[in-house]
Amino acid sequence: MSRHLLVTNDFPPKVGGIQNYLFELWRRLDPASFMVLTTDHDGADQFDRAVDFEIQRVKGPLLPTASLARRIDRLAEEFQADLILLDPALPLGMLGHRLQRPYGLVLHGAEVVIPSRIPMLRGILKGVMKDAEILIAAGRYPAQCAYDLLGESIAEPKVAIVNPGVDVDRFVVPSPDAKLAVRRDLGLTEGLGVLFVSRLVPRKGADTLIKAIAMLDQGKGSPQLWIVGSGRDKARLGRLIERSGVDAVFLGKLSQDRLVALYGAADIFAMLCRNRWFGLEQEGFGIVFLEAQACGVPCLVGDSGGASDALDPGGSGFVVQNPKDAKSTSLALETLMRNPELRLRMGQRARNFVESDFDYRSLADILKDAIDSVVLA
């Protein structure tokens, strides 16, 4: 059995895509085969007591300092680790060259694209990536970012694509009664409900969705928009909702159980993620799409980065090619809204799609094989 240390700034109980990815994959590995070094967070004690692998936490963000390198070396020695996995590639990956043991990187996309456009950082990142034993890419898009940066200097097996996934036993299709109960519990409409789940930042495109709903033919009835998440864009979105007269509800941050139930209660899931800053900011993948599909809900997905890999286009939902365009979003939304049979068919396809390709159990096997292939080679 190989042994490794995962060093990351992003681990639960903090909430987010990277946290979900790391936890849901790593908790499925043999608990004796790795340990985690991460940052402290509210609720961490309780969280750490509930898991069966070892977690050590430090105050504040993990930065590429000499003292952190010494700490990692010490831990790796005690744990007899064969490999150190660092996430993100920058700045934490800069520690790689200082460590006594081989290292690898976990890539999500943005942390490669942004530094690779800044001349000084580009060289540093390239060096850090070239000397890594393995690059674990959270999807095709971050893998492509790595190939774009390293070009011919990279041997193919060094990049292992391990897609994000979903816990298909927890995210399930609810009964009609359960759907209704959640809606009543949260004071939501019993008519059509469109769900959006994300940090409220411009890149995630809640503004396009609000504008698209406002453009629908009101005579045929409008859906209610359910917005889950928090963030700096909330006030602007609130003003947009007020001006447009869209029926929308901000639900804030929800507990995991509530969120699962709400996904299942929705008729349509939509997140019109888009590129920003001339492509510097893109969607790495979009775990929220998988979660919605696991609950049998068809998706509208903005075409950005690797997001279109998170659904079966035309089968389990639609990709909106220009996610800034409210009109085309509105048309796609209308197609789903006015066609319950299509929603049902796409919802069934969605569930099958994630079960066969994005079950975290099989993805964790891919991860294990990828790590073993470099350590035990």
Q: Which is nearer to ligand GDD, 103 or 141 (CB)?
A: 141
- Interaction site with ligand GDD (CB under 6 A): 15-18, 20-21, 108-109, 138, 164, 197, 228-229, 253-254, 256, 259, 283-288, 291
The tally of CA atoms less than 13 A away on the side-chain side of residue 185 is 11
- Helices (H) and strands (E) in the chain — how many of each? 14, 13
Residue with Cβ nearer ligand GDD (229 or 298): 229
CB 274 within 8 A of CB 324: yes
Cα dihedral value 342, 345, 347, 351, nearest 10: -160
Name the residue whose CB lies closest to ligand GDD: 17
Whose Cβ is closer to ligand GDD: residue 75's or residue 254's? Answer: 254
Nearer to ligand GDD, 149 or 301 (CB): 301
Least CB distance to ligand GDD at residue 134 (A): 16
Cite the beta strand spans of the chain per DSSP E: 4-8, 34-39, 54-58, 83-87, 103-107, 135-137, 159-161, 193-197, 224-228, 248-252, 268-271, 299-302, 317-320
Give the integer Cα–Cα distance in Å for 233 and 154. 39
The 3-state DSSP class for residue 196 equals strand
- Shortest distance, position 88 Cβ to ligand GDD, whole Å: 10
CA distance 170 to 150: 38
Choose between 331 and 366: whose C-beta lies nearer to ligand GDD: 366
What's the closest the beta carbon of residue 200 comes to ligand GDD, in angstroms?
10
In the complex, minimum distance from the CB of residue 272 to ligand GDD, in angstroms, rounded to a whole number: 13
Shortest Å, Cβ 218 to ligand GDD: 30
Tell the burial category of 373 from Cβ atoms under 10 Å away from its Cβ (0-12, 13-18, 19+).
middle
Nearer to ligand GDD, 210 or 337 (CB): 210
Name the minimum Å distance from CB 118 to ligand GDD: 19
